[in-house]
Amino acid sequence: MSVVEQPGSAVEAEAADVVALRAGARAWLAEHWNPEGDRKRFVAAAIDAGWAAPSWPSAWFGKDASQDASKAVREEFAAVRAPGAGQDLQNLWANTVLAFGSDDMKRRFVRALLLNEVKMCLLYSEPGAGSDLAGVTTTAVRDGDEWVVNGQKVWTSGGHVADFGMLICRTDWEQPKHKGLSFFFLPMKQDGVEVRPLRQCTGDRRFNEVFLTNARVSDANRLGATGDGWRVLQTALAYERLVMGDTRPSAARDDRSPEERVEGPPPDTVLVGLARERGRTDDPVVRDALMRLHVLRTVNSWNGLRAKAQLAQGTSSPVASLGKLAMSQILHFAGSLQQQLLGADGMLGSADGPADRSWHAMYDLHNAFFTSIGGGTDQIQRNIIGERLLGLPREPEPDKVLPFRDTRRNQ
């Protein structure tokens, strides 16, 4: 039921809950937050007190709060620059375990993931299955209480440091391609996993290709039912797109630990500062661009709240694709505006840039292209929006109902 449809008493009660939780967070921060103190210990205390993920169930480090109340908590933490909040929005690993993991998996992983004590990566894309993830051919074969995995993955961010990878693989070749998949937390530090780095044009080496040769994963690390991996994947992707729809530098799959990660300023705020620094705030073209960026970012933040409200545990929301696509365009626009403000200095890398400001780490044009690919390409998001939001007809998929073994790609 939307806010518009709710009776007045229900709206008032929800508003009172938001006020109460905001006041509770403010009081807790006043007692526990010390900018000079042990940040890791503070984050652990915030997790155990339910402030890191307030919208989660109280049995799993939450407070059974509404999305509006959770947003209020994030605002209170951001106001004092305290880390640790917002993980019910940003931690796609823990959200996926919470939605589909057994109680045993939740006990083993949820708190550790919130603390970033377990490093994760995504084992989705393959050389022949990028945009069409349902076409993956990496295979898992049951062997007692374990599965034996063979195949290749690519564009694996953080694979070289990960402890586990969220793996989508094929466990039944006789089923149609969307129905024969399963989803696992695969241990990365084993002999059957080879990680090779891929160097980007930016100089980064965060992407990898991963070769799986008789790698093993326990059935206790399976999320969802055998053969139901596509549903788990869709939920995980929805969380990823929701996070990537947030245009702040600290969003998405941030490599920093929770105690280092504080909600950063949005691009319009950052670039207003750069415009002031460069003496361009009186330029009408720059002012118009900054205002356009602010409007786009604000509208997309509203869309993010809408998507999060629809994203109940264990489901997916096409609205997240709308936000992710918008985010991609916003960051391209922000990168272009940044280059315009920096002028010739914008051609320098961050180490050689003016005043040692690492502008390139935030909105530079090279990294903006990643946002059009990660979490599903812009083209895939347009397909999802067209089909699931606008009701347009799907593209023909003649192989959708065939056993995967009989599809054309396997002939």
Q: How many CA atoms lie within 13 A of 41 on its CB side?
A: 7
Enumerate the active-site residues.
Answer: 240
Rounded CA separation 201/121 (Å): 21
Rounded CA separation 361/370 (Å): 13
Give the count of beta carbons closer than 10 Å to the beta carbon of residue 196: 12
Q: Quick one: 267 exposed, middle or buried, by C-beta within 10 A (0-12, 13-18, 19+)?
A: buried
Any idea what DSSP says for residue 388?
Answer: I
Residue 291 belongs to what H/E stretch?
helix 284-310
Which residues, in sequence order, are CB contacts of 368 under 8 Å at separation 6+?
A: 328, 331, 332, 334, 335
Q: Are residues 105 and 178 in contact, defined by beta-carbon separation less than 8 angstroms?
A: no
Residues in a beta bridge with 164: 120, 187
